[in-house]
Amino acid sequence: MINNYFTDRLKKYKDWWSAPVNLKSRVYSAILSGMAGFWIAALGRITLGTLPVSLSVIGWFALSGIAIGILFGALFPKTMRLIAFPFAFWGIS
């Protein structure tokens, strides 16, 4: 029973990965990657940069993370969906 589950999941993943990319997939990946870029850039600047730092600097880092995330999400939708999904909801949880 468990073997059938994993076999089915692997088949669905292979079908999804080999399917052509459409506009809906690009938009979803861009939104997801933008959310991930926000958390990575904002929290990355706070934890890895020198402190104290002004809120405007963190805001600029967050906006640049969103822009880069949206760009990469639109260009590489399937790869960014796999990479960015855990980071997109990291700050919310």
Domain boundaries, the chain: 23-88
Tell me: the pLDDT tens digits for 21-77? 999 999 999 999 999 999 999 988 888 888 898 999 999 999 999 999 999 999 999
Residues 67, 69, 74, 75: what is their CA dihedral angle, to the nearest 10 degrees?
Answer: 110
3-state secondary structure 1-49: CHHHHHHHHHHHHHHHHHCCCCHHHHHHHHHHHHHHHHHHHHHHHHHHC
Alpha carbon distance 7, 24 (integer Å): 27
Question: Does pLDDT of 93 surpass 70?
Answer: no
Prior bond to 52 cis, omega within 30?
yes
pTM: 0.82
pLDDT, residue 87, reads 81
